[in-house]
Structure 1
Amino acid sequence: MYTDIIRLSPIFKEKVWGGSSLHTNFDYDIPSDHTGECWGIASHPSGSSTITNGPLTGWTLMDAWMEHKKELFNEDNDEKAFPLLIKILDANDDLSVQVHPNDAQAHELEDNEAYGKTECWYIVDCKDGSEIVLGHHAKTRAELEDYIEKGDWDGLLRRVPVKPGDFFFVPAGTIHAIGEGIVILETQQNSDTTYRVYDYDRRDDQNQTRELHLDKAVEVTTIPDEKQENAFSYQNVHDLSITTLTENDFFSVFHLDLDGIYEGSRPADYLLATIIEGEVTFTGKDTHLLKKGDHFILPYELENFKLEGTAKAIVSYPK
């Protein structure tokens, strides 16, 4: 049925910490200068991408998953939700310090989520001196609660400097935050559950602070913190350089760097892809010019394809 790529129109989310980099960096038509998130490949009750080519033009990805799961994704489980969510985030200001539950905790604590939230970040761009929060220094739950009660965020939080091209794996249970001036591509489990720990006492236009979720946050935080180390692997196939960024229990993520021509096939039942630099001509059933900021899926029935151009992409598939 579907032997061509599935091109997707993204959804944009305005955030108190958002900016305009999704327009300046990716030429997206964003709703305002406080746009924080581009949901590029999304099939979630809070937002679903729209298919823009082929026989399912105009369908949401959620509807395509529900109605054509076998043909498009080789998936037989009728109750399973789409497993991954791909975002680009523009942190014009610091994001809240937060933590996410794992699958079991999400099922216990939330009624509307199919998954917990393990994620990873590829730093697309950032200002000089930018930092993320990744982890904490508490050794026990009591110590974590004491840091929070005292508001000793400098003592609690582990801050890490970043530069473009850096990659970070952020498993569920990790206290984290994206710092001001950073644009990331995020690959995550398909969940929108976030427990805020600290939000810098910010107030919105109505002089209201955003809700914190301290009880749930403490419950799901990994204590003591487990520092993550990258174990990249590298492969060159003709004109294509492939860096394996992570292979974990939930997804595999790769950085592709093409300078020339590549002909090949999918390494999994389907692939999710975003062009982050340059442009490439994709030839399968049809020919597509794909440029920076384009999001697409290589479905199950698309077996062989050709790439030609100079481009970089982040590609993933679920486990």
Structure 2
Amino acid sequence: MNREPLFLEPVFQERIWGGTRLAEQFGYRIPSERTGECWAISAHPNGQTTVKNGPFQGKMLGELWDEHRELFGHFPSDRFPLLTKILDANDDLSVQVHPDDEYARTYENGELGKTECWYVIDCEEDAEIVFGHHARTKKELVEMIENGQWDKLLCRVKVKPGDFFYVPSGTIHALCSGLLILETQQSSDTTYRVYDYDRRDQEGRLRELHLDKAIDVTTVPHVQEKVESAVVQMANATITMFIESEYFTVYRWDVHDQLELEQDKPFMLVSVIAGEGTIATEEGEWEIWKGNHFILPYQFGTFQVKGNVQMIVSHP
């Protein structure tokens, strides 16, 4: 039984729409002023995080999954199933859609599909997202895309800090500028671009679109999944469960002194998004602060969170 959290070293990805808020808000050492993504807990080949502490220090998360499945309760999956990111949308992201498992397995070399969700850590006033579309049939979807009727096609939603959005595969979506988001998703890097504002890359080329596949996988008409948070209020803490889906369950833990919990899942992914404190068991105590990401392994058991700290937590 491993009674030690697995702290992870994030991987950063530069993007045309990225910025510097990952450094400004979390103190990360980012590679450039166009840093768009912090892959915080990831075993995906395109960006693997590395264990920073304990007997597995220096191991990549994918290695740990392959060699020490007991840490994850022998969870029945051929790969680590989830990926946690923080995204700095300094500019609008492309409008995109993701495939489901079956489509991705067939057309993307066995990749997983991509259902995801967003927690708004911070945003500028009047920030918004693209979330869904107005087409009633596939024919109408194709016509609107071919005619460039983006204002007519795309649904836009105003957002504020603390908002949560569930984005199943097949949902047309985009983050817009001024957003800092924590994303929990299936461990997949498959994205089909529908529209990219006719932007050009550093070489002056229009970025590739994937319209045939995007039209194939888009849910028509758009289905708005109903998400109702469940809130448990305690003397010194609040636990909010945002979503319980077939791929992941996601919570926010707000601790204002001390909270005792039981880790009774195969494993839990934890991202500290505000404050600082400690995680304590009978075996030890570990400091945590804003920007930390770690896994509580199988049979971690009873533990206390102490301090003033806010975390986004997920498990499969």
TM-score, structure 2 length as denominator? 0.98
TM superposition shift of 1:166: 0.5
User: Is it true that 1:58 corresponds to 2:58 in the alignment?
Assistant: yes
User: Which whole-Å CA distance do the structure 1 matches of 2:261 and 2:118 have between them?
Assistant: 27
Superposed CA deviations along residues 249-299 of structure 1, whole A, max 9, x for unmatched, are 111000110001112211412110000000111112321110011000000
User: Which whole-Å CA distance do the structure 2 matches of 1:293 and 1:264 have between them?
Assistant: 21
Aligned residues: 315
User: Which whole-Å CA distance do the structure 1 matches of 2:140 and 2:212 have between them?
Assistant: 14
User: Which whole-Å CA distance do the structure 1 matches of 2:195 and 2:165 have between them?
Assistant: 21
CA contact (8 A) 1:255 1:315 kept: yes
User: Which whole-Å CA distance do the structure 1 matches of 2:62 and 2:140 have between them?
Assistant: 42
CA contact (8 A) 2:277 2:288 kept: yes
Partner of 2:291: 293
User: Which whole-Å CA distance do the structure 1 matches of 2:59 and 2:172 have between them?
Assistant: 36
User: Is it true that 1:266 corresponds to 2:225 in the alignment?
Assistant: no
Q: Secondary structure at the match of 1:43?
A: coil
CA contact (8 A) 1:238 1:262 kept: no
User: Which whole-Å CA distance do the structure 2 matches of 1:267 and 1:15 have between them?
Assistant: 37
TM-score, structure 1 length as denominator? 0.97
Partner of 1:83: 81
Alignment of 1:20-39 (within 5 A): 20-39=20-39
CA contact (8 A) 2:75 2:266 kept: no
User: Is it true that 1:129 corresponds to 2:126 in the alignment?
Assistant: yes
CA contact (8 A) 1:241 1:258 kept: yes
Partner of 1:280: 277
Partner of 2:101: 103
Give the residue type in structure 1 aligned to 2:128: E
Partner of 2:311: 313
Q: Which runs of 5+ in 2 are unaligned?
A: none
Superposed CA deviations along residues 104-130 of structure 1, whole A, max 9, x for unmatched, are 1111111041x1000000000111111
Partner of 1:168: 165
Q: Secondary structure at the match of 1:159?
A: strand
The sequence identity of aligned pairs, in percent, is 50
Give the residue type in structure 2 aligned to 1:306: Q
User: Is it true that 1:241 corresponds to 2:261 in the alignment?
Assistant: no
CA contact (8 A) 2:264 2:298 kept: no
User: Is it true that 1:225 corresponds to 2:222 in the alignment?
Assistant: yes
CA contact (8 A) 1:275 1:294 kept: yes
Q: Secondary structure at the match of 1:55?
A: helix
Q: Secondary structure at the match of 2:105?
A: helix
Partner of 1:153: 150
User: Which whole-Å CA distance do the structure 2 matches of 1:68 and 1:236 have between them?
Assistant: 36
